Amino acid sequence: MRKNIIITAVILAVISWQCSKVDQSLSLKESIEESAAKINTAFDKIAASEGYQMLSVTDDGAKSDFAEGFRDSINLDLITGIYDFKPGTGKPRNLFFPFTLFLKTSTSEELIVNLPEKLVFHPRNLHFCNRADSALKNNFKIIATDYHLYYNRWNNSEYKLDTDFFLDSKQIGNLKMFSTWKSGAEGSYSNNFTFPEGYTVIRNGETGDTIKLIFALALDKDTLLRETVMFYGEGFKRKEKLYILSIGNVDIMRGTGIDSIQVYLDGVLQTNAGAKIIDEQDYNSSICNKRDIQLTFDDGTTAKLSEFISPARETIRSLSKVMGEMYFSKQVVDYIAFSIYYNNH
């Protein structure tokens, strides 16, 4: 009963949200075409941005286990200040941070770090630092206004990050992250990255009796794309209970208690339209992976969703992956925070 209540609440929330949309003059096909064009434009701009390049860093060989065994708490007030990248020459103080990487040059209520872009876009150079790199220009700036990292011996954890990034004095994005986990398996997370143009990419997740995953793209306060998947079970045994895909003012829904896939336009059920979900035998039920949807319009014509968002699809898949893994925050931001913390405490 509780599971059905949760699913019903999610459906009603989506329909209610869509009813607030203003443009109700377009047909279903026209609405899909217009919304898809906005999505393609958005991801085209995002793919060409420095923020996207930064999020997509995947240097092999970086120290993925530098925080292994950490059972403590690092708050912003323990690492505040203005720091410049300037490798020290002192004796080793820590296995993973054998010498000081950053020199504190002034006080601040925030964590402000100046370093060469080479160390951000190629984190291996940060993890295996060449001291000669200190001669490089510190043209990349990280300004963290919130930071909290906590682990205990039972693998309970909390994480919070709010930081802006600047390249050559130009802001390239803002990253907000929050997560809380119990025993490393049950919890929730929210990862948002906002680009200077106003686009925000969102990746949220919840685990427990019900697993809920959300991937979304917004422009300021308008949601251009939102995919919600709810399921039970793990891995190949998981069973999908609810699927909602919102493309502008069009919602496509499938769930328990629903006889068929339903299509809504501006919150109104379309009785003469239909949809068929195509999964290509993949258990990752998402358009961010291999899911596709065949739409049937009022005039009887059909088209696949992938045909409308084809230009954006690879970027959608890539962003969904990097926003879920958040390699960048761990291998760059956390690595810097650990370096400062361990060399000052």
Confidence of residue 180 (pLDDT cuts 50, 70, 90): very high
Confidence of residue 98 (pLDDT cuts 50, 70, 90): low
Q: What is the pLDDT of residues 49-90, one digit of tens each?
A: 999 999 998 866 566 666 666 677 899 999 999 999 998 776
**55, burial (CB in 10 Å: exposed 0-12, middle 13-18, buried 19+):** buried
164: DSSP letter: E
Bigger pLDDT: 234 vs 74: 74
- Tokens 């009813």 correspond to 19
- Tokens 């208690």 correspond to 257
Q: What is the pLDDT of residues 125-174, one digit of tens each?
A: 888 887 777 778 999 999 999 999 988 777 788 999 999 999 999 999 99
- pLDDT of 21 > 50? The answer is no
71: DSSP letter: -
- pLDDT of 20 > 50? The answer is no
Residue-averaged pLDDT of the chain? 86
Cα separation, 224 vs 200, in Å, equals 10
Torsion sign, CA atoms 175, 84, 81, 158 = positive
Cα separation, 202 vs 326, in Å, equals 12
- CA distances 232 to 3, 241, 253, 287, Å, are 10, 7, 17, 19
List beta partners, residue 106. 82
Confidence of residue 33 (pLDDT cuts 50, 70, 90): very high
Interval 7-22 mean pLDDT: 47
Tell me the whole-structure pTM to 2 decimals: 0.88
| DSSP notation for 3-15 | HHHHHHHHHHHHH
pLDDT at 144: 98
| DSSP notation for 94-154 | -SS--S--EEEEE--SSEEEEE-HHHHHSTHHHHT--GGGGGS---EEEEEEEEEEEE-TT
Bigger pLDDT: 142 vs 7: 142
